[in-house]
Structures are given as C-alpha cells and as structure tokens.
Amino acid sequence: MMDLPQDPPLDLSEASAVKALAALAQSSRLRVFRAIVGAGPEGMQPGQISQALGVPANTLSFHLKELHQVELISVEREGRFLRYRANMQAMQSLVGFLTDHCCQGQPCEGMPMTRQASPLPHTFSTSGATIMTQRHVLFLCTGNSSRSIMAEAILNHLAPNRFVAFSAGSHAAGQVKPQALQCLERNHMSTAGLRSKSWNEFSGPDAPGMDFVITVCDQAAAEICPVWPGQPLTAHWGVQEPAQEGQSAEQSVKAYWNAFMTLHRRIAILLSLPLEKLDRLALQSELQRIGQS
C-alpha cells in the first residue's frame, strides 16, 4: 500500500494516456499493478506477486512487460532476481490527465482534485486559538484476532485525545484471541468493544476517513487492499504471529507479551513525531522507518 507523492506530475499526452489505460484494461494485469502499488517503496519480486495473486509465472511475465512498456512500473535487478516498483509519478500523471478539465478547472463538490494531496495536519483556528482534531488510524492483519486488535487498544489507550484507532482483517477470524485480550487486561487497557471484523467495513463511502493505514502482518501487506477513503498514508509494521502450534502456556504468554511490547514501542514512536511539522513525504518516510525498528 502506498500514497501518492506530492511531486508535480509529468505532462501526459493523449496517446500515452490511451496506452496506459489500455494496459490497465485487463483484470489480471490490474490486480498485478495494484499489488505492486500496495507494496510501496519496497516493491515486489515476481515470485512474491505470483504467490500473492496465484498468477502463473509465464502469464505474470507478460503482464509485467505490458505495464513496464507504458512506464507504470519500473524494474531493478537484484542479483539473480528482479524487483518491480510502481511509478507513482506516472500514475499521478494519468489521474491528473483524466481530471484536468473537470468542472472547467474548478474544484467540484464531491470530486476533490486529485493533484492536491489532502493535508495531514488536523488543525483549525477559532478566536485565535489553534484546535487539534483527532486523526484516524486503521491497523490491519489477516485475521484481526490479535496483533491488530492489540495495536488498536494500545493507541486508543495512549492517546485518546489525539487519535482514534480501528482494526480490521483481510480474512477476519470472527473472534478475538483470548490471549490478546488477557495481555491487554494485564496492562490495564480496556478491551471493551474489541471485535474481529473485515476490512470491507472501512472501504465504503460511509466509512470514516483514515489518516494512516498500517499493516502489522506480512500476509495482509502482500494482499490487494480496498481503496481507502481519504488518501491515507500507509506503512508496514510487521510483527511476528504470537500464536504458534505446539506452544506451552508459558511460551504463549511470552509470545503475546513480545508482540504487545513491539507494538507499544512503535506506537510510542509515532506519538513522539511532530506531525504538524512534517509534510506527507517526510511523514511517510517516518512511518516506514518505525516499521523497520
């Protein structure tokens, strides 16, 4: 998952736009492109794409070639492997081409101009005083049963006036792991209202707009995410799955504690960032750095 950069888009000719749109006008190829976009700056190797989407290697090679020819993706050799990354500037140029003449060049109600990134600082003034509003954060994992649930509870506990945290799963398990709830309770954090739910709840037109969408497991990070309202910044904070087969009770407690502490440390770093002073690109970089800590 990756947000559009703020760099000015390149001018795009009509012929180039037609070629780019034609390249995307095939369902499997569109899925491949979205998967690469979702991988963010790290990009993806063909094997990773094939495994995530179930696309055969020979078919995938053809799709990647088509996308590369219209410059929607770039490719870099890493030893014996290739790594593909989305050309976000080219994609922004394509979207800009489609909206340049919208409403005679004036912003339309209900149709924000795509070339203008939504500002992240949530401030407004009243009677000379600056008021901060809450930012929304969505934590994602596959089952939404432990790691994302704990991240939601931790952020809501540490900064209830600055953030509203949510969590969801690509394939929601339907119930929260009792070990996750016990870990939160031992740390005096509320578990009220926590439930396992699908990420589709946050992708519709009536869903709350997100400022940040953060994946906390590798499998969810590799999947094609829904389109999130509000152009949120995205990051991957991979945390090891605490529930493993054959664990003893003691090992389970330790694994959940380790996952909890990893998430707690990363969220604490997020809360220490001067969010109002960072532009989108700088904040995107900081979010990715937190996930590598």
Looking from the CA of 129 toward its CB, the CA atoms found within 13 Å total 5
Query: Does 169 fall in a domain?
Result: yes
Tokens standing for residue 16: 């180039």
Query: Does 280 fall in a domain?
Result: yes
Do 236 and 214 form a contact (C-beta atoms < 8 A)? yes
The CA-to-CA distance between both ends of the chain, in Å, stands at: 19
Check whether residue 90 and residue 147 sit in a common domain: no
| Digitized pLDDT (tens) for each residue of the chain, 293 residues in all | 444 444 444 456 788 888 889 889 988 888 888 888 877 777 888 888 887 778 888 889 899 999 999 999 999 998 888 999 988 878 878 877 777 656 555 545 444 433 333 444 454 444 444 445 689 999 999 999 999 999 999 999 999 989 999 999 999 999 999 999 999 999 999 999 999 999 988 887 778 889 999 999 877 667 677 777 767 899 999 999 998 878 788 999 999 999 999 999 999 999 999 988 888 888 999 999 999 87
Q: What residues make up the domain containing 166? A: 123-291
The residues, ordered by sequence, that sit 6+ positions from 250 with a Cβ below 8 Å of its Cβ are: none
Check whether residue 75 and residue 155 sit in a common domain: no
Check whether residue 131 and residue 213 sit in a common domain: yes
Check whether residue 137 and residue 276 sit in a common domain: yes
Cα 274-164-42 angle, rounded to 5 deg: 60
- For residues 266 and 185, what is the distance between their CA atoms, to the nearest angstrom? 20
Tokens standing for residue 256: 């959940």
Query: Does 113 fall in a domain?
Result: no
CB crowding 103-124: b at 16 or more within 10 Å, else e: eeeeeeeeeeebeebeebeeee
- For residues 186 and 39, what is the distance between their CA atoms, to the nearest angstrom? 35
- For residues 19 and 278, what is the distance between their CA atoms, to the nearest angstrom? 36
Check whether residue 178 and residue 246 sit in a common domain: yes
- For residues 46 and 82, what is the distance between their CA atoms, to the nearest angstrom? 7
Instruction: Check which CATH number belongs to the domain holding 283 and give it.
Output: 3.40.50.2300
Check whether residue 44 and residue 151 sit in a common domain: no
Check whether residue 26 and residue 69 sit in a common domain: yes
